[in-house]
A and B are shown apart, each in its own frame.
Chain A
Amino acid sequence: MNRDAVMSFLSSLVVLAAGLLIGFIILLVSNASSAWEAFRTILTFGFSGIRNVGDVLLGATPIIMTGLSVAFAFKTGLFNIGATGQFAFGGLTAILIGHNFTGMPDGLRIVFALAAATAAGALWGAIPGLLKAFRNVHEVISCIMTNYIGMFLVTFLIDRYAFNPAVGKSLALPEGSNLPTLGFEHIFREEFLPGFYRVSRVNAGILIAIIAAVIIYIILEKTTFGYELKACGFNKDAAKYAGINQNRNIVASMMISGALAGLGGALLYTSGTEAMGASNVLLPYGFTGISVAFLGLNHPIGIIFSGSLVSYLFLGGARTQVMGFSIEVVEIVISVIIYFCAFVFLVKTFLGKHIGKLLRFKGDNA
């Protein structure tokens, strides 16, 4: 690993530690007596039992996908804060297909649902891409707009075609429309009474997310397409000099980014654990994806780990509810992490100055 990568990794850790520290302070302020207990829970609960590990992976699935979405766009010089809208479209598409194509064999239906969701996300991502490439509209602004437009459209469609008035959310999918669990239920379970198990709903989704990360890694690092995309992102003048078609790459990048988020939405709503809300609220997954992407250093493989880490923290945070805390403390931690990510380069430079010398010294001896 070269020095730059080491610095990046260290700065990620510093940012993470800063976020956790502020989370701890907030816990302390709100209830000093059980703060330490709650903090310990956040840090350890995800590993306290194999079922929790399963739940960490389950929770990581959608945010690995949105993390990949944000990171992919970022690597190519674009800031996709529209992942939440693309995610919603993907989820919606999977739900509608899961309900309406019941004539199809189960396996085929799932594949079709995932593929269609991916395409839906790509289409929704294409809008800011096209506007950026051909109308010079900044993608951050158009993503904000498409997020809300998407939210209203998706809510409308859920309301009209898949609404379950009993829970105020989308109808639960028929079991055959959900992702297979691949026997994970025999691994990620805990016996709480003899013969009775609490089972994690972790399923094929996490494998798909990991495969997606690997594919994205291959595209970015091993293909001419990735070479072009990154060249545009790093230095668009040099890309132009090399005869690379920037407009095409902007649209392609946003579509792939949208596709990843859309697939993420499908993986969430076909996991048999979530129903889509029918109220006009932006889904949090796209924004969590930003922190996952930056914590994972915008590296596809790093994102598998940062997504799991964030999911891990959320699981622990949820657990603190039994001590009278609420899960939002984890969201505060995440937001603080994102805030520090805004100047992560500064952290890196700082580390580079003070720790870099040390490392170099060691490196010379080795």
Chain B
Amino acid sequence: MNMAIFYSIMHWAVYIMIPLIVVSLGGMFSEKSGVVNIALEGKMIMGAFAGTMFMYYVQNVWQIAMSPWLLLICTLIIATATGIVVSLAHAYASINLRANQVISGIAINMFAVAFAIYTARALTTAGSQHIHYRNVFRIDNVPLLHRIPILGPMLFQNTYFTSLLGIIILAVSAFVLYKTKFGLRLRACGEHPQAADSVGVSVTKMRYAGVILSGALAGMGGILYIVPIASAFSGSVAGYGFLALAVLIFGAWKPQRILFAAFFFGLMLSIASQFSAIPFLRDLGIHANFFRMTPYVATLIVLAFTSKNTAAPKAVGQPYDKGGR
């Protein structure tokens, strides 16, 4: 295998890994607060939709000259905000109305796909569900760093600002979760809401915070997913929201392990997407889909062996009942 293929696989692994990290961190905040979140996919789609639509308008409709940096940052902000708005629907249903959190999540996932496609058709001039934008964000070489042997071409060539952002978010999330008052209280609400309540922590507020954070990160994750790998959004994030859920489970709801899980999943999918270029894998005659399903199979196996002693927050999925003991 020559180095070019190796680097290419690593680049793709990173492109895939970053949104998975960010979105599963979103899922982590929600579940740590005690709210199940299978709507990550829907929130990603809504974030990606709003963000790409914004880029489409800036570039094609309004034709505003904007530096790539500014455009990217505005896009990320819009995607994040959209994710938050969507997550409020989930928060309201699952926290205030104490509704079935799974049904609400499914509804949001369905709504997002339909809404993104419907609106894209209505708003783009071509009337198609594809929202095109010019991808001006790639950084061919990071100054100086790209010269580092091996690591340089791996991480600092053909890269995106979003990759750095993803790593920053990971570090910040880990810090927030374990080193701040907010993190401590959030985790308490997902493990033992009655205990949190008995020491005066508002379970409702903390759960709202968890769900909103998940919306923000998943919405942003939609753009992080789209930007490195595509120049159009077509109403789908290819199940990455569910994959992020698998990352969360595989990563045992812990930031460090989420990094590892996301990298493993990213590598598998990267190989799947490029394996025709890898001679020895091509000769094996294994269909790409077998690499694609590895993350899900691995997660299922992990579940089968850990569920009796699961790392999941104890009270996740249970509406909080003040009277409960």
- Docked-complex contact A131 and B303, CB < 8 angstroms: yes
- Docked-complex contact A339 and B308, CB < 8 angstroms: no
Main secondary structure of the interface of A (DSSP, over half): helix
The yes or no answer to A153 lying at the interface (CB within 8 A) is yes
The yes or no answer to B238 lying at the interface (CB within 8 A) is yes
Nearest-Cβ distance from residue B299 to partner chain A, whole angstroms: 6
Question: Contacting B106 at CB < 8 Å: which of A146, A328, A338?
Answer: A338
- Docked-complex contact B99 and A153, CB < 8 angstroms: no
Nearest-Cβ distance from residue A41 to partner chain B, whole angstroms: 16
State A140–B113 Cα separation when bound (angstroms).
20
| Stretch of B175-183, B222-230, B276-284, B288-296 at the chain-chain interface | B288-296
Q: Which residues of A contact B239 (CB under 8 A)?
A: 148, 280, 282
State A141–B303 Cα separation when bound (angstroms).
9
- Docked-complex contact B114 and A153, CB < 8 angstroms: no
- Docked-complex contact A144 and B38, CB < 8 angstroms: yes
The yes or no answer to A227 lying at the interface (CB within 8 A) is no
Nearest-Cβ distance from residue B44 to partner chain A, whole angstroms: 15
The yes or no answer to B202 lying at the interface (CB within 8 A) is no
Q: Which residues of A contact B311 (CB under 8 A)?
A: none
- Docked-complex contact A336 and B111, CB < 8 angstroms: yes
| Stretch of A51-59, A116-124, A340-348 at the chain-chain interface | A340-348
State A160–B292 Cα separation when bound (angstroms).
16
State A141–B101 Cα separation when bound (angstroms).
13
Question: Contacting B289 at CB < 8 Å: which of A155, A290, A326?
Answer: A155
Q: Which residues of A contact B107 (CB under 8 A)?
A: 335-339, 341-342
With A81-B102, A137-B304 as known contacts, state yes or no: A287 contacts B293, CB within 8 Å. Answer: no
The yes or no answer to A26 lying at the interface (CB within 8 A) is yes
- Docked-complex contact A160 and B111, CB < 8 angstroms: no
Q: Which residues of B contact A160 (CB under 8 A)?
A: 287
Residues of A177-214 at the interface with B, using a CB-CB cut-off of 8 Å, are none
State A294–B99 Cα separation when bound (angstroms).
14
- Docked-complex contact B102 and A335, CB < 8 angstroms: no
State A149–B114 Cα separation when bound (angstroms).
24
Write the chain A residue with the least CB distance to B249.
A141
Binary interface encoding of chain B residues 86-109 relative to chain A, with 1 for a CB under 8 A from any of its CBs, else 0: 000100011001111111101111
Nearest-Cβ distance from residue A124 to partner chain B, whole angstroms: 13
State A115–B84 Cα separation when bound (angstroms).
46
Q: Which residues of B contact A140 (CB under 8 A)?
A: 36, 38, 102
Question: Contacting B118 at CB < 8 Å: which of A152, A294, A328, A346?
Answer: A328
State A335–B245 Cα separation when bound (angstroms).
21
- Docked-complex contact A329 and B304, CB < 8 angstroms: no
- Docked-complex contact A152 and B108, CB < 8 angstroms: no
- Docked-complex contact B122 and A156, CB < 8 angstroms: no
The yes or no answer to B115 lying at the interface (CB within 8 A) is yes
Residues of A36-69 at the interface with B, using a CB-CB cut-off of 8 Å, are none
The yes or no answer to A142 lying at the interface (CB within 8 A) is yes
The yes or no answer to B139 lying at the interface (CB within 8 A) is no
The yes or no answer to B300 lying at the interface (CB within 8 A) is yes
State A244–B264 Cα separation when bound (angstroms).
43
The yes or no answer to A87 lying at the interface (CB within 8 A) is no
- Docked-complex contact B118 and A326, CB < 8 angstroms: yes
The yes or no answer to B246 lying at the interface (CB within 8 A) is yes
Q: Which residues of B contact A138 (CB under 8 A)?
A: 307
- Docked-complex contact A156 and B297, CB < 8 angstroms: no
- Docked-complex contact A81 and B238, CB < 8 angstroms: no
The yes or no answer to A6 lying at the interface (CB within 8 A) is no
Binary interface encoding of chain A residues 273-297 relative to chain B, with 1 for a CB under 8 A from any of its CBs, else 0: 0000000111000010010001000
Question: Contacting B110 at CB < 8 Å: which of A294, A329, A335?
Answer: A335
Q: Which residues of B contact A294 (CB under 8 A)?
A: 103
- 15 examples of A-B residue contacts, CB within 8 angstroms: A31-B122, A135-B304, A135-B308, A137-B304, A141-B303, A152-B290, A153-B289, A281-B236, A326-B118, A328-B118, A332-B111, A334-B110, A335-B108, A336-B107, A339-B93
* B residues neighboring A (CB under 8 Å): 36, 38, 89, 93-94, 97-104, 106-111, 113-115, 117-119, 121-122, 127, 236, 238-239, 242-243, 245-246, 249, 287, 289-290, 292-293, 296-297, 299-300, 303-305, 307-308
- In order of increasing CB-CB distance, the 7 nearest A-B pairs are A331-B114, A339-B107, A335-B111, A335-B110, A328-B118, A343-B99, A338-B107
Contacts beyond the supplied A135-B304, A343-B97: 14 A-B pairs with Cβ under 8 Å: A131-B300, A136-B307, A137-B303, A138-B307, A145-B296, A147-B242, A149-B296, A155-B289, A287-B109, A287-B110, A290-B106, A332-B111, A332-B115, A339-B104
